[in-house]
Amino acid sequence: VINAIAQNGFYVSDEFLSLEHFQQLHELLQSWQAEGQFKAAKIGLNATKTQAIQIRGDEIAWLDAGENHPAIKAYFTAINAVKDRLNQAFFLSLTDYEAHFAIYPPQSFYKKHVDQFKTANHRQISCVYYLNPQWQASFGGELNLYTAEDELLSTILPLANRFVCFKSNLPHEVLTSHYPRYSIAGWLKTRSHAVL
Ligand code: OGA
Ligand code: MN
């Protein structure tokens, strides 16, 4: 993870969690969906729903790090290990983490964007973990990652148990997905400071 981030700005792991925990997270996402826990993602404080859907069509449900579910615990433990490595190697002070389940319904996408907000740079490393048991290339839904100079860096399929992390200032997009696309999106952050 250290070499990949230092050299390319991103890292991909194809066996992030055990298959048991992968399966449990996939099932948990589906049961939360059945319970109606997912809400349309927003884009900015003042944007309307119609404006938002032209930029991103995913539906999200936030995860609680304190959740007493074995697979959620395993997920946060694995993220913490990544965080500790990055802190040691790059003298970062990543302290906080926030994450949500995401569902991209058929024909939805997320236009090219960066994950750092214009007013605050607390999000340093973006993390995505894919929960799609039988993904096929024909489904679309690729993650395209770009360099800070906007050159295509990599095209990544949302395959089962695949984890991707990248510097949050890099532009990226989710191409139109033709099949329901499941993931956990999260961000390692430096501690928030009050804006004076
Ligand atoms: C995001 C995002 C990428 C993906 O949620 O901000 O860019 O592959 N997700 O789902
Ligand atoms: Mn993003």
Q: Are 104 and 184 in contact (CB under 8 A)?
A: no
The whole-model pTM stands at 0.95
- SS3 string, 103-115, reads EECCCEEEEEECC
Q: Provide residues with CB under 6 Å of ligand 1.
A: 102, 110, 115, 128, 143, 172, 174, 183, 185
Question: Best of 128, 132, 155, 170 to mutate for ligand 1, by most ligand atoms within 8 A of CB?
Answer: 128
Q: What is the pLDDT of residues 98-128, one digit of tens each?
A: 999 999 999 999 999 999 876 666 999 999 9
Q: How far is the CA of 153 from the centre of ligand 1 (A)?
A: 15
Mean pLDDT confidence for 139-152: 98
In angstroms, the CA 191 to CA 98 distance is 12
Residue 129 pLDDT > 60, yes or no? yes
Q: Are 15 and 161 in contact (CB under 8 A)?
A: yes
Write down the pLDDT at residue 192: 66
Write down the pLDDT at residue 117: 74
Rounded to whole angstroms, what are the CA distances from 11 to 2, 92, 177, 185?
A: 8, 17, 22, 15
